[in-house]
Amino acid sequence: MVADPTLADLRDPFGRRSAPMVGAMSEAWDHDEAGAFIETLFAKHHGEIYAYLLRMLREPELAADLTQDAFVKAYKNYETLEKPENARAWLYQIAHRVALDEIRRRKIIRFFPWTGESRGSAPSAERLVMDAHLSGDMQRALARIPERQRAALLLAELHDLTGLELAAALGVSHVAARALLTRARESLRQALAAEREAEDEAEANGAAPSRSTGGPR
């Protein structure tokens, strides 16, 4: 089997290489089993994987394509999953690599304002206005911070990955993941402050609040 180069350096939460992707084991794995397993994984996790990729890349169609890519890569590299209970983090790791690869490939990070619909009871108009305002600031601020930090924040705060899962998904050690998350919080604080400052300045000048498209600093 030809290993997927984007997964060639998958590492476990402790920074070790995952199982080798070549050799007898990879040749012998049961594709029927793999297909069934990926199908189950898809049913269970495709929504959150799509949401993560959408939040990282902000383009729905692209996010859908990359979600597809992620599951195909999961299928191709099924044998690298050592423990089924780690499947979710493993899947996020693949999705994260897919996202970073796409970002690198395109050399762009585009963030567009995006408003989703809330589930549950309809929020009040004031809440909608406030949320849109907050979300707009937040989206733009997220766009300003480096993508690895953004990934760490999204995975920890919106996708509820534990420390070890976060480390696995990011392909770093637990200590490194924690440090990355710490830097991400500080980056977000500064980015939000910059966003608000820009808005205040624009309002003071009588212009519409800025709508920067963001990008890595």
Partner 1 sequence: MSRIHRLRRRAGHAASVHERARSLAAIQLTEPLKPVDNTWLLEHLSGCDACRQVLAVYEADRAGLRRLRDQQPQPPRDLWARTAAAIEREAVTSGRAPRRASTSRPSPSASRRRLAPLAMLAGVAVVVVVVGASLLSGGFLNQAPQVAVIPSSQPPVALASTPTSPGPTPLAVGAGSVGWIGASTNGKFAYNESAAISEVCAVERQEECAPVADHGSKAVDITIRPKSVTRSPVRNEAVVVGTDASGSDAIVVIALPAAAAPNASPSPNPTPAVTPVPTPAATPSTEPTASPAETASTSEPPASEAPSPTPVATPVPTPTASVEASPTPVPTPTASVEASLAIASGVKIVGESAAFSPDGSWFAFTARPSDDSAGPDIYVWRVGDPKARKLTSDHHSVLGSWAGDRLIGSRPMDTGTQPAEVSARSFLIDPASGAETELDGSAWRPVVDPTGQWAVTWDGTVQLADGGLTITPASGSLAVHRYSSGGIDTATDNSVVTDAAVPEFDARWDETGTWLAVWLADPSDPTIGRLSLHHLDRSTGKIERVHGAPKDVTALPGFSIGDGRLAWATPPGQGGEGSRVQVVAWSNDNVGAVESGPVENVVVIH
* Collapsed DSSP state (helix, strand, coil) of residue 181: helix
DSSP letter string over 68-103?
A: HHHHHHHHHTGGG---GGGHHHHHHHHHHHHHHHHH
Q: Is 11 in the site for partner 1 (CB under 8 A)?
A: no
For the record, the structure tokens of 43 come out as 């049913």
Of 165-204, binders to partner 1 (CB under 8 A) are 178, 181-182, 185-186, 188-189, 192
Q: Does 57 bind partner 1 (CB under 8 A)?
A: no
Smallest distance from the beta carbon of 108 to partner 1, in angstroms?
Answer: 18
Least Å distance between CB 206 and partner 1? 27
Task: Tokens for 126, please give them.
Answer: 């004031």
Nearer to partner 1, 109 or 161 (CB): 161
Q: Do 159 and 92 touch, CB atoms closer than 8 A?
A: yes
Nearer to partner 1, 11 or 185 (CB): 185
| Identity of the residue, 103 or 141, whose beta carbon is nearer to partner 1 in the bound complex | 141
Q: Is 167 helix (H, G, I), strand (E, B) or coil?
A: helix
Secondary structure of residue 17 in the 3-state scheme: strand
Residue of 22, 36, 108, 176 that binds partner 1 (CB under 8 A): 36
Those residues with Cβ within 8 angstroms of residue 161's Cβ, 6 or more apart along the chain or in another chain: 89, 92, 155, 169
Stretch near partner 1 under the rule CB under 8 A, chosen from 8-16, 62-70, 80-88, 200-208: 62-70
The single residue listed with the structure tokens 């899962």 is: 165
Q: Map the footprint of partner 1 across residues 148-167, applying CB under 8 A.
A: 153, 156-158, 163
Going by C-alpha positions, the residue among 187, 15, 165 that lies closest to residue 95 is 165
Crossing angle of the two packed helices 174-204 and 163-170, in degrees rounded to 10:
90
Contact between 7 and partner 1 (CB under 8 A)? no
Binding site for partner 1 (CB under 8 A): 1-2, 31-32, 34-36, 38-40, 42-44, 46-47, 50-51, 54-55, 60-61, 63-64, 67-69, 71-72, 75-76, 114-119, 131, 134-135, 137-138, 142, 153, 156-158, 163, 178, 181-182, 185-186, 188-189, 192
